[in-house]
């Protein structure tokens, strides 16, 4: 009996010892598998540590102000893949705005456009589709064939269209961008952009042409191919998975190639704030979407937007050397101010500073003054006040008529020239 008790005690001691050893071993293994997080060259935090990106390049921008809220290696030149099509869409909407094309006019697919590989909607040579349908094909399904068809329709050739793309990029101040095709299929080193430049052209597209969001927010749609073989429906599925997976997401464009890896320009709207989240060169598609969402979460959690969208009626400004003594005025644009510090924005004040007068001839758009906005006594921005009409300078006949009215016995009008 005593031997059995002794043996049981020994067994318990061994188990206890092994259990302690096993616990230590598991703890050491766990520490080895999950070492303490350290900031490396592959991860960048914002100033308050709220954002971490796994991708090497990213930008978060507020659309109305263009203010960059977060950045990581934003000016590095990388391959943009199909995000190139954002500039293609800008030029398409430019052409519509300028009256060069209409949404319902037909575009004929060339053999060259049909030959595009990669992402496509399988347009046939000679097939006709409307401009609006091809816009859907480009922004929803990232159709390379649709992009080239539109480029040829607008400029005559893809080469000429690409020249216009680069010119438009220069106008927008995109210093780290150069295009060599209209769809991003090329893997040339001379076809590049940066996270910041992508945000800039994304902002231009969604702010100047908000109608694009009607298309980029569509999850699924169909088009009808009408060819010699008959008609058939083709389904379009949005390549931006955040459309369904992130609240408020309304666009905009994804891209991926072996060189560019995975990139996305995401647009989301919440509480009147529109944010643009750009991720470039992500290692896989999950990272591009999770990084984009992380930046959006940070932005929506920290941003407050003030908009002066109901400015008061402005007084007229005096005009010298003109028959019309005064000119009406207008604000150049609405004022926006983005705060990320948590300050209350109901204390923003506006001061109107007008010139004493303008001298004719006055052209509509001439600067007549400015509105200065202050928060806690600090200047946070300003908007120009412009002449809202043309006022011609007075001529010899005007002076002669004024002299006649002065000496002839009839009543002068308030608008007549003062000598």
Distances in Å between the alpha carbon of 307 and those of 273, 295, 334? 10, 23, 7
What integer best gives the mean pLDDT of the chain?
A: 85
pLDDT at 403: 63
Stretch 134-161: mean pLDDT:
97
Encode 382-410: b = buried (16+ Cβ within 10 Å), e = exposed. bbebbbbeebeebeeebeeebeeeeeeee
**What is the percent of the chain with per-residue pLDDT over 90, rounded to a whole number?**
69
- The pLDDT score that the predictor gives to residue 411 is 52
Three-point CA angle 260, 261, 267, nearest 5°: 85
pTM over 0.85, yes/no: no
Question: pLDDT tens digits for 266-283?
Answer: 999 998 899 999 999 999
Q: How far is CA 364 from the centre of its chain?
A: 30
β-bridge mates for residue 387, sequence order? 329
Lowest mean pLDDT among 12-21, 47-56, 378-387: 12-21
Residues 410 and 398: their CA atoms lie apart, in Å, by 17
Residues 209 and 195: their CA atoms lie apart, in Å, by: 21
**What is the reported pLDDT for 15?**
37
Residues marked active site are found at 82, 85, 142
């Amino acid at each position: 009996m005593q031997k059995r008790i002794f043996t049981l005690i020994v067994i318990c001691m061994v188990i206890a010892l092994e259990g302690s050893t096993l616990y230590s071993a598991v703890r050491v293994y766990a520490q080895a598998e999950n070492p303490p997080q350290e900031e490396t060259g592959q991860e960048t935090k914002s100033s308050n540590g709220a954002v971490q990106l796994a991708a090497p390049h990213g930008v978060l921008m507020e659309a109305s102000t263009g203010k960059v809220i977060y950045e990581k290696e934003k000016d590095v030149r990388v391959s943009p893949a199909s995000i190139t099509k954002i500039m293609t869409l800008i030029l398409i909407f430019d052409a519509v705005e300028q009256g060069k094309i209409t949404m319902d006019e037909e575009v004929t697919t060339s053999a060259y456009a049909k030959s595009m590989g990669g992402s496509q909607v399988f347009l046939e040579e000679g097939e006709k589709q409307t401009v609006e349908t091809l816009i859907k094909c480009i922004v929803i399904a990232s159709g390379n064939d649709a992009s080239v068809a539109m480029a040829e329709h607008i400029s005559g050739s893809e080469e000429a269209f690409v020249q216009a793309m680069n010119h438009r990029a220069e106008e927008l101040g995109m210093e780290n961008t150069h295009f060599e095709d209209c769809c991003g299929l090329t893997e040339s080193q001379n076809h590049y952009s940066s996270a910041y430049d992508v945000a800039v052209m994304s902002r231009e597209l969604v702010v100047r042409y908000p109608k694009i969001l009607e298309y980029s927010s569509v999850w699924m749609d169909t088009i009808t191919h009408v060819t010699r073989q008959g008609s058939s429906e083709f389904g379009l599925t949005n390549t931006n998975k955040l459309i369904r997976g992130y609240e408020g997401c309304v666009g905009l464009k994804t891209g991926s190639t072996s060189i560019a890896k995975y990139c996305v320009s995401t647009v989301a709207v919440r509480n009147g704030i529109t944010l643009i989240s750009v991720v470039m060169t992500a290692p896989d598609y999950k990272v591009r979407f999770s990084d984009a969402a992380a930046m959006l979460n940070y932005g929506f959690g920290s941003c407050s937007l003030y908009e002066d969208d109901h400015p008061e009626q402005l007084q007229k400004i005096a005009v010298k050397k003109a028959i019309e003594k005064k000119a009406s005025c207008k604000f150049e644009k609405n004022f926006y101010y983005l705060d990320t510090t948590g300050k209350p924005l109901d204390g923003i004040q506006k001061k109107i500073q007008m010139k004493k007068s303008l001298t004719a001839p006055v052209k509509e758009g001439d600067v007549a003054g400015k509105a200065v906005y202050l928060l806690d006594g600090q200047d946070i921005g300003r908007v120009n006040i412009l002449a809202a009409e043309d006022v011609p300078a007075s001529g010899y006949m005007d002076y002669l008529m004024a002299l006649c009215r002065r000496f002839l016995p009839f009543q002068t009008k308030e608008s007549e020239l003062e000598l």
